[in-house]
Every structure is written in structure tokens, then in C-alpha cells.
């Protein structure tokens, strides 16, 4: 070293590419977020923090944060726990495990946009298979009893399902009470197979000796062994799964675009959809960039949390 | 302290019979070693005793109680694993606490948060911590209590694993090759420590190893196991000096026992490679037999000796206290290992011709199929 500058030549392709492809676009978005630039117009004005201020001012943006965060808060825990549960069930199977792995992984491999249209048919308020089943179920005794909770002693007509039976079945995607829930359901359906695969990998890396040791030490129930061995040994997997699921949930777009377009009354107006609407549909590059930067902030925060946990809490060796 | 008996234990994995109708009894407070080459079924046997594996047939009896249907956690045995199997997310102290917590605290007392309100828990916990500290003091690991297993050396992890087995005072210790992951010097050291621990605790120990040196040095009695069967179960010196067959003789002892073909005549006299020897069979039978003798029962003779073996040195191992010479016998392809005092063999070089004698009274005779034959020295 020292005598030549060849080391700069060696690293320059990587550095230049990283700058052009990764850093420059963020920088450009950051710059645009302080302007009122519209795609097509020839000039723009610097407007300072006005774009950011409007995030707090307009109700559509507060609805956006509510929708995105609600989606994440529903999808992440449910899909993570479902993933863990199905992974543990599958790994305990003596045969047939491969079959279930393939089935549960199917939604991950399928194009979400195409699957969204399939769900649209299923969730259709009139012709959809789901409402058809619920509707017919009203006249099937055990089905009605089960879902109204009358088998537990509740008054069937006061329950949610009982109410639907006497009125009519919900419009899953068109009613703002149900729309985000329906989108979240599809999100969970799609995400948990991926989490399952990650947990399966995590489970196989737990040494069998630890379970034997736990048994010898007196852990005589599956739950004790789960608490003592499985759950803590999956620590690194938990951090990775939660982070990746959170980031992916923040990025939800396909289902919203295909099924609800942010509606009804902005109840499913998630961040990436807002970005798309402002920046692409309405050509408001300035506002779109602002949303991008805020979105980036969220993702960065999640990633930093992950790094913190990996370094501090779950790194055992 | 417990007495452990195995009666007709056999175990098959699919078609593979790893343990064949095996009997073994371990007396109260005895240190017994099960030694055998890898794959002989000794670890499986230990796991069957522990209850981690179920036998295909036969009975495990602990203190007169048949425990075939009793699960591992209820047998009150402790086990030390080859991999140590410490919980990596818990500190050393917490690792030692696990067996106590699981056995001495009720389900409610282990329930997080809620257990703070249980009056007896506090005093119980103090008692348990006291026990952990006692165990840690015996093993000299008190200064490591706050560390995680990942921050410990192999030897320290080994002690923690022994400590975790010790704290709850089990009726017997089962050890599955606990020293095989340690380096050579530490292994010798831990050998002595485990023996001493056994003297202190006076509990039954069942120790599984492939290392015959561990078996010979540590145990009261040892069981030599091969191909799923126990070939000989006796004190170390008895097994070393009077192996029941050639397999045991070859497995126990390092370097390996020398084996040469020999002939016995109808009067019981034995000739080995043309040399008549002053040893005879107790039950004379004509035919070919084998003679086994350990390297330490051989010696280098001066070059003008008669009636002795002669061969060429092919390899020389200098261990400092002893020198082992690998010799190809002159007459044919037979090989022999000779132990010599260092000063006698210092000048010996590879390729030299040497003359070798043996201590005839230490020579063992075996049948062609390996079974030991009784002999007496001629007077």
C-alpha cells in the first residue's frame, strides 16, 4: 500500500455502482421531498418542510398511518405465530411433512396480484363462496350454534354472526369496517408460509441433545421443553422473522391496488399505495418523495432494532 | 445411590440390531465404565437406562423397581452429554438452577410474574441458590456464575455440565463420553477429577467411553462392549491381564497386544514359529492356536542370544519414558511391537535387525476363534 493508488481502482466499480444505484436515488428522493415538483412541469419551487407538514395536517395522511400500522400490527404477530405453530407441527410429523410444506408455501410462490383476484371472487358480497357458505350456514343448526356462540350460552341473535343472519352478509372489501381486516387476512395467508420455512430451518438447527437434557432435568411436558429450549433457541430466527415480516407488511401494495384502491373512505390507504397514488397516478413527485422518505425512515428503524437485538440479546456464542 | 440392573435388554432400529440381549448389574455406589469401539451400541445403552430411548425388549430395574414405562424425567438419574448440552441462553448459574427449579418448585411457583406473590417461593429460591453455590464450589466454577456457556472454555463447560447433573443429588450419574471433546492434557486432568467426584459423592456412576485408558484408570469395574454385546465385565486389572477372548485383548491396552500363530501338540506343549516355549495348555489338544502378549512383556536381547525372535525395525516411537519399536519378524510377515527402556533402544534405528525375548509367564493363549485357553507354565 502507500506507493500506488491501485486499491482505489479495485474498489471503485463497487463504490460507484453502490452510489449510483443505491444512494443516489434516496438522495434524489430526499431532495424532491422539499419541492413541489410535478412530473411534466419544467420547473419547481423549494417549499421547505411544507410536504412534511401536510402529513400531519390532512386527514388522509393520518388515515394512511393508521391503515399501515394497523395492517402491520395485525399481520406480523398472527403470521409469525402461525408460522411457528405450523413449523412445529410439521417438524413433529413422521411422514407427510413435505406435503404440508409445499401446500403452505404455495401462497408465497404465487403472484400476489393474481391471488388477489382469486380472493376478490371469493370475497364477493353476492356471488362469493365465503358469503354463500355463511349465508347457507344460518340454516344449519350446528354451524349456526358454533358461530353465534350459543353453545357457550350466549344469546344467538345478539352475536355478530346472528346479526348477519338476520340482516345480510358483509361486503368484505366494500365496507370500511371489514376492508382492512380482509386485506390483512390475505396478507397473513400469504406471509405465514414464508415464516414457516424460516422457522423450520431454525428448528432443525436446535441440537437434539438439548431436548434430552431438558427431559433429564425434569421438563416432563412439551410446554416446559418449549419454554426451556425451543423458544429461546429460536431467538435469532424470531428477530429475523419479525423484522422481515414487518418490512414486508409495510410494503403491502398488490392486494390494496387490486381489491380496494385504498378505499372505502381511505380505510385501506396504506403507505406504499399512497406513494403510488401521489407519485405515479397524480404525478406529484414532491409529495411522493416525501412519503418515500418517511417510509424509508420506518424501515430503517425496524432494521436498526433488528441489528440491536441480534447484537445484544439473541447472540449466544 | 442406586442399584441398576439390566435384564435381557435388546434394541433394534428397523432391521439393525444394535443391542443383543444384554445383562448388566451395577452395584450401589459403583463406578462402572462401558467401553467399546464407536458404533457398538454403548451410547444407545446409556440412553435406554436414562429413558431417552426405549428398549425393544428386556427390563431396566433401578433399586428393584422396574422402570420400563417410567419416563426419563421421573427416573431421577442425571446425565452428562458429550456435547455438554448446556442451555446457551442461560448463564452458568441459571443452567445449574434449571433442574432444581423444574423439580423443586411447583408449576405455579414457576409461573412468571404471578410467582412473586407466592409466600414460600422466596425462601425456596434461597435454598436452591445455596445448593447451586455448593455444587459450584466443589467444581471450582464460582467465578464463572454470571457467564454464558458460549464464553467458557471446553473444560469449564464440562464442569458446568457435571454441576448441572450434581445439584439435584440424583440416584445415579450417567456420562456419555464426557471427556472426548477436551484436549489431551485436560482429559487426563478431568479423569482424576471425575474419579475424585465419585469418591466424594459416593453415587452410582455409569460412564460410557471409547477410550480404554479412561475405562482402565477410573472405574471399579468395566464392561467391554462390542457389536451390541458385553464381552467381559470385570475389574480393569482382570480384564487387562485375563481377557476372555482375543477381541477384548486387542481392544484393551495401548499399543495393541501382539498376536502370533502357534502350534499345540497332543501333550499340551506349545511351539511358536519353530521355537518351543516353556508354557503348556491345561487341557492338551493338538492344533493351531494363537499367542497374545503385550508389548511391555517383551524386551530387546543382546545380539548373541539364542532361542528368541529376530526381526527388522520398521518404526520407532519415542515417548520419552518408553520407546516402542515396531518390528517385522524375520521368518514371515508377522509384526510385533516391543517396548523397551529408553537407554536400551536409544541407538536402534529403522532397518536394524534386533533380537527379542518375552516374559513367557505373561503370554496368553487363544483358540483359533479367539476364545481364551487356560495355560500353565512348565516346570
**Residue B280 and residue B212 share a domain:** no
Q: Which of B85, B99, B102 sits opposite A212 (nearest CB)?
A: B85
Q: Assign B186 a pLDDT band (cuts: 50, 70, 90).
A: confident
The residues, ordered by sequence, that sit 6+ positions from A277 with a Cβ below 8 Å of its Cβ are: A262
3-state SS assignment for residue B290:
strand
Cα–Cα distance between B176 and B173 in angstroms, integer? 10
**Residue A300 and residue A212 share a domain:** yes
**Residue B46 and residue B160 share a domain:** yes
Determine the average pLDDT of the residues in B214-224.
90
Hey, which residues does B224 pair with through a beta bridge?
B35, B232
CA-based Rg of chain B, rounded to a whole angstrom? 26
Rounded alpha-carbon distances, angstroms, from residue A32 to A21, B32, B211: 17, 79, 73
Last residue of a domain, one of B219, B247, B275: B247
Hey, which residues does B277 pair with through a beta bridge?
B270
Cα–Cα distance between A84 and B328 in angstroms, integer? 64
A210 contacts chain B (CB < 8 A): yes
Q: Which of B87, B88, B103 sits opposite A218 (nearest CB)?
A: B103
Question: Which residue in chain A has the smallest CA separation from B165?
Answer: A217
Domain count, chain A: 2
**Residue A153 and residue A87 share a domain:** no
Helices (H) and strands (E) in chain B, counts: 9, 22
Hey, which residues does B364 pair with through a beta bridge?
B292
The DSSP code for B113 is T
Rounded alpha-carbon distances, angstroms, from residue B288 to B124, B282, B284, B293, B336: 71, 15, 12, 17, 19
Residue A195 resides in a domain: yes
| CATH number of the domain that residue B68 is part of | 3.40.50.300
B73 contacts chain A (CB < 8 A): yes
C-beta atoms of B74 and A220 within 8 A = yes
For residue A151, give its domain range: 129-169
Cβ neighbours around A287 below 10 Å, total = 26
**Residue B234 and residue B293 share a domain:** no
| CATH number of the domain that residue A282 is part of | 1.10.3720.10
C-beta atoms of A316 and B148 within 8 A = yes
**Residue A216 and residue A190 share a domain:** yes
Cβ contact A256:A262 at 8 Å:
yes
**Residue B272 and residue B234 share a domain:** no
User: What percent of chain A shows pLDDT beyond 90?
Assistant: 19
pTM of the entire predicted model:
0.79
Cα–Cα distance between B86 and B257 in angstroms, integer? 39
**Residue B324 and residue B205 share a domain:** no
Q: Is the pLDDT of residue A134 over 90?
A: no
C-beta atoms of A216 and B102 within 8 A = no
A40 contacts chain B (CB < 8 A): no
Domain count, chain B: 2
Q: Provide φ and ψ at B315, rounded to 5°.
A: -160, 145
Residue A15 resides in a domain: no
Helix H or strand E encompassing B308 = none
Q: Which of A212, A218, A317 sits opposite B88 (nearest CB)?
A: A317
CB-based burial of residue A85 (10 Å sphere; 0-12 exposed, 13-18 middle, 19+ buried)? middle
A220 contacts chain B (CB < 8 A): yes
Cα A267 from chain centroid (whole Å): 16
CB-based burial of residue B322 (10 Å sphere; 0-12 exposed, 13-18 middle, 19+ buried)? middle
**Residue B93 and residue B26 share a domain:** yes
Chain A CB contacts of B14 below 8 Å: none
Cα–Cα distance between B173 and B193 in angstroms, integer? 15
Question: Which residue in chain A has the smallest CA separation from B151?
Answer: A317
Cα–Cα distance between B35 and B224 in angstroms, integer? 5
C-beta atoms of A216 and B103 within 8 A = no
Cα B40 from chain centroid (whole Å): 13
User: For A206-210, B92-96, B275-279, B349-353, which range has the lowest pLDDT when averaged over its residues?
Assistant: B275-279
Question: Which residue in chain B has the smallest CA separation from A225?
Answer: B102
Cα–Cα distance between B26 and B100 in angstroms, integer? 26
Rounded alpha-carbon distances, angstroms, from residue A101 to A35, A142, A194, A233, A236: 49, 32, 10, 22, 22
For residue B344, give its domain range: 255-377
A217 contacts chain B (CB < 8 A): yes
Q: Is the pLDDT of residue B378 over 70?
A: no
Cα–Cα distance between A300 and A279 in angstroms, integer? 21
**Residue B366 and residue B219 share a domain:** no
B98 contacts chain A (CB < 8 A): yes
Q: Assign A18 a pLDDT band (cuts: 50, 70, 90).
A: very high
Cα–Cα distance between B375 and A33 in angstroms, integer? 101
**Residue A118 and residue A154 share a domain:** no
Chain B CB contacts of A217 below 8 Å: 73, 98-99, 102-103, 164
Query: Nearest CA to B334 among B260, B255, B257?
Result: B260
**Residue B177 and residue B119 share a domain:** yes
Cα–Cα distance between A222 and A217 in angstroms, integer? 13
Q: Which of A207, A217, A229 sits opposite B102 (nearest CB)?
A: A217
Helix H or strand E encompassing B372 = strand B372-373
Q: Mutate which of A210, A211, A213, A220 to test chain B, going by most B C-beta atoms within 10 A?
A: A213
**Residue A200 and residue A218 share a domain:** yes
Cα–Cα distance between B194 and B200 in angstroms, integer? 10
Cα–Cα distance between B5 and B25 in angstroms, integer? 4
Q: Which of B50, B73, B90 sits opposite A220 (nearest CB)?
A: B73
The residues, ordered by sequence, that sit 6+ positions from A174 with a Cβ below 8 Å of its Cβ are: A125, A264
Give the three cell numbers for residue A215: 427431559
Hey, which residues does B172 pair with through a beta bridge?
B77, B204
Residue A285 resides in a domain: yes
3-state SS assignment for residue B366:
strand
Average predicted confidence (pLDDT) for chain A: 84
Cβ contact B257:B294 at 8 Å:
yes
Cα–Cα distance between B174 and B88 in angstroms, integer? 22
- pLDDT of res. A13: 92
CA-based Rg of chain A, rounded to a whole angstrom? 25
ipTM of the complex: 0.82
Cell 444384554 maps to which residue?
Answer: B22
* Residue pLDDT, tens place only, B294-341: 999 998 888 887 778 888 889 998 888 889 999 988 766 788 999 988
Q: Which of B73, B148, B150 sits opposite A215 (nearest CB)?
A: B73
- pLDDT of res. A113: 81
Residues 131 through 160 of chain B touching chain A, CB cutoff 8 Å: 148-150
**Residue A91 and residue A186 share a domain:** yes
Q: Assign B238 a pLDDT band (cuts: 50, 70, 90).
A: very high
Give the three cell numbers for residue B258: 501382539
A208 contacts chain B (CB < 8 A): no
Last residue of a domain, one of B181, B212, B247: B247
Q: CA B215, B218, B221 angle in degrees (round to 5)? A: 65
* Residue pLDDT, tens place only, A288-309: 888 888 889 988 998 888 888 7
Residue A26 resides in a domain: no
Query: Nearest CA to B34 among B211, B173, B289, B196?
Result: B211
**Residue A279 and residue A135 share a domain:** no
What is the torsional sign of CA B358, B361, B362, B365?
Answer: positive
Render A72-104 in DSSP notation, one character per residue.
Answer: HHHHHHHHHHHHHHHHHHHHT-SS-HHHHHHHH
C-beta atoms of A217 and B98 within 8 A = yes
Residue A243 resides in a domain: yes
Average predicted confidence (pLDDT) for chain B: 87
**Residue B239 and residue B104 share a domain:** yes
**Residue A165 and residue A180 share a domain:** no
Chain A CB contacts of B149 below 8 Å: 316
Cβ neighbours around B196 below 10 Å, total = 11
B106 contacts chain A (CB < 8 A): no
Q: Provide φ and ψ at B294, rounded to 5°.
A: -80, 150
Cα–Cα distance between A266 and B102 in angstroms, integer? 53
Strands B309-318 and B65-66: unpaired
Render A165-200 in DSSP notation, one character per residue.
Answer: HHS----TTTSTTTHHHHHHHHHHHHHHHHHHHHHH
- pLDDT of res. B142: 87
Cα–Cα distance between A4 and A13 in angstroms, integer? 18
**Residue A162 and residue A120 share a domain:** no
Residue A17 resides in a domain: no
A216 contacts chain B (CB < 8 A): yes
C-beta atoms of B103 and A210 within 8 A = no
User: What percent of chain B shows pLDDT beyond 70?
Assistant: 98
Q: Assign A12 a pLDDT band (cuts: 50, 70, 90).
A: very high
Q: Which of A207, A219, A316 sits opposite B83 (nearest CB)?
A: A207
**Residue A234 and residue A147 share a domain:** no
Determine the average pLDDT of the residues in A47-76.
84
| CATH number of the domain that residue B290 is part of | 2.40.50.140
Strands B31-35 and B221-226: parallel
Q: Mutate which of A202, A207, A218, A229 to test chain B, going by most B C-beta atoms within 10 A?
A: A218
* Residue pLDDT, tens place only, A209-224: 999 999 988 888 888 8
Whether omega for the bond prior to residue B255 falls within 30 degrees of 0, making it cis, is yes
Question: Which residue in chain A has the smallest CA separation from B104?
Answer: A218
**Residue B284 and residue B192 share a domain:** no
Q: Is the pLDDT of residue A164 over 90?
A: no
A228 contacts chain B (CB < 8 A): yes
C-beta atoms of B73 and A228 within 8 A = no
Pick left, alpha or beta for residue A265 (phi over 0 → left; psi -120 to 50 → alpha; otherwise beta): left
Last residue of a domain, one of B212, B247, B282: B247
**Residue B287 and residue B222 share a domain:** no
Cβ contact B335:B255 at 8 Å:
no
Amino acid at each position: 500500500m502507500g506507493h500506488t493508488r491501485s486499491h482505489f481502482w479495485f474498489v471503485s466499480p463497487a463504490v460507484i455502482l453502490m452510489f449510483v444505484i443505491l444512494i443516489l436515488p434516496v438522495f434524489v428522493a430526499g431532495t424532491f421531498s422539499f419541492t413541489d415538483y410535478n412530473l411534466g412541469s419544467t420547473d419547481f419551487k423549494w417549499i421547505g418542510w411544507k410536504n412534511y407538514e401536510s402529513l400531519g395536517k390532512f386527514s388522509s395522511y393520518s388515515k394512511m398511518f393508521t391503515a399501515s400500522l394497523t395492517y402491520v400490527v395485525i399481520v406480523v404477530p398472527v403470521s409469525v405465530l402461525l408460522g411457528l405453530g405450523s413449523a412445529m407441527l410439521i417438524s413433529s410429523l413422521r411422514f407427510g411433512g413435505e406435503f404440508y410444506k409445499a401446500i403452505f408455501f404455495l401462497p408465497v410462490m404465487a403472484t400476489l396480484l393474481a391471488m388477489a383476484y382469486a380472493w376478490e371472487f371469493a370475497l364477493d358480497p353476492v356471488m362469493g363462496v365465503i358469503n354463500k357458505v355463511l349465508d347457507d350456514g344460518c340454516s344449519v343448526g350446528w354451524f349456526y350454534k358454533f358461530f353465534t356462540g350459543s353453545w357457550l350460552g350466549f344469546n344467538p341473535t345478539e352475536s355478530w354472526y346472528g346479526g348477519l343472519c338476520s340482516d345480510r352478509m358483509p361486503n368484505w372489501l366494500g365496507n370500511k369496517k371489514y376492508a382492512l381486516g380482509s386485506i390483512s387476512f390475505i396478507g397473513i395467508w400469504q406471509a405465514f408460509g414464508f415464516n414457516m420455512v424460516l422457522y423450520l430451518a431454525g428448528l432443525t438447527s436446535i441440537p437434539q441433545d438439548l431436548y434430552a437434557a431438558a427431559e433429564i432435568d425434569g421438563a416432563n411436558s412439551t410446554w416446559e421443553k418449549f419454554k426451556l429450549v425451543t423458544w429461546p433457541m429460536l431467538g435469532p430466527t424470531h428477530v429475523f422473522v419479525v423484522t422481515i415480516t414487518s418490512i414486508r407488511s409495510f410494503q403491502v401494495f398488490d392486494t390494496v391496488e387490486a381489491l380496494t384502491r385504498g378505499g372505502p373512505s381511505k380505510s385501506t390507504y396504506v403507505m406504499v399505495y399512497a406513494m403510488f397514488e401521489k407519485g405515479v397516478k397524480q404525478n406529484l413527485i414532491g409529495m411522493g418523495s416525501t412519503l418515500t422518505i418517511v417510509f424509508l425512515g420506518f424501515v430503517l428503524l425496524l432494521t436498526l432494532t433488528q441489528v440491536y437485538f441480534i447484537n445484544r440479546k439473541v447472540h449466544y456464542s | 445411590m442406586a442399584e441398576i440392573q439390566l435384564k435381557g435388554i435388546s434394541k433394534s432400529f428397523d432391521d439393525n440390531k444394535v443391542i443383543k440381549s444384554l445383562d448388566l448389574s451395577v452395584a450401589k455406589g459403583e463406578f462402572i465404565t462401558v467401553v467399546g469401539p464407536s458404533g457398538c451400541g454403548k451410547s444407545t445403552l446409556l440412553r435406554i437406562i436414562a429413558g431417552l430411548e426405549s428398549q425393544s425388549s428386556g427390563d431396566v430395574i433401578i433399586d428393584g423397581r422396574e422402570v420400563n414405562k417410567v419416563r426419563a424425567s421421573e427416573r431421577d438419574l442425571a446425565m452428562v452429554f458429550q456435547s455438554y448440552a448446556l442451555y446457551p441462553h442461560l448463564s452458568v448459574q441459571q443452567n445449574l438452577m434449571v433442574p432444581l427449579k423444574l423439580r423443586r418448585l411447583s408449576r405455579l411457583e414457576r409461573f412468571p410474574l404471578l410467582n412473586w406473590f407466592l409466600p414460600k417461593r422466596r425462601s425456596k429460591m434461597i435454598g436452591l441458590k445455596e445448593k447451586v453455590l455448593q455444587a459450584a464450589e466443589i467444581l471450582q466454577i464460582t467465578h464463572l456464575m454470571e457467564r454464558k456457556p458460549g464464553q467458557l472454555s471446553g473444560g469449564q463447560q464440562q464442569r458446568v455440565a457435571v454441576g448441572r447433573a450434581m445439584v439435584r443429588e440424583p440416584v445415579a450419574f450417567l456420562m456419555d463420553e464426557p471427556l472426548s471433546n477436551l484436549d489431551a492434557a485436560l482429559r487426563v486432568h478431568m479423569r482424576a477429577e471425575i474419579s475424585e467426584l465419585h469418591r466424594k459423592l459416593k453415587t452410582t456412576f455409569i460412564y460410557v467411553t471409547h477410550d480404554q485408558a479412561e475405562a482402565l484408570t477410573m472405574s471399579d469395574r468395566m464392561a467391554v462392549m462390542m457389536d451390541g454385546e458385553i464381552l467381559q465385565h470385570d475389574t480393569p486389572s482382570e480384564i487387562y491381564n485375563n481377557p476372555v477372548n482375543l477381541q477384548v485383548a486387542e481392544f484393551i491396552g495401548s499399543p495393541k497386544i501382539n498376536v502370533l500363530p502357534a502350534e499345540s501338540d497332543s501333550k499340551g506343549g506349545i511351539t511358536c514359529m519353530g521355537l518351543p516355549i516353556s508354557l503348556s495348555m491345561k487341557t492338551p489338544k493338538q492344533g493351531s492356536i494363537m499367542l497374545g502378549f503385550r508389548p511391555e512383556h517383551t524386551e530387546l536381547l543382546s545380539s548373541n542370544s539364542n532361542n528368541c525372535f529376530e526381526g527388522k525395525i520398521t518404526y520407532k516411537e519415542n515417548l520419552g519414558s518408553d520407546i516402542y519399536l515396531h518390528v517385522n519378524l524375520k521368518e514371515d510377515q508377522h509384526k510385533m511391537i516391543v517396548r523397551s527402556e529408553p537407554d536400551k533402544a536409544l541407538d536402534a534405528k529403522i532397518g536394524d535387525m534386533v533380537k527379542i525375548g518375552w516374559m513367557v509367564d505373561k503370554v496368553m493363549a487363544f483358540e483359533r476363534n479367539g476364545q481364551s485357553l487356560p495355560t500353565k507354565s512348565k516346570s
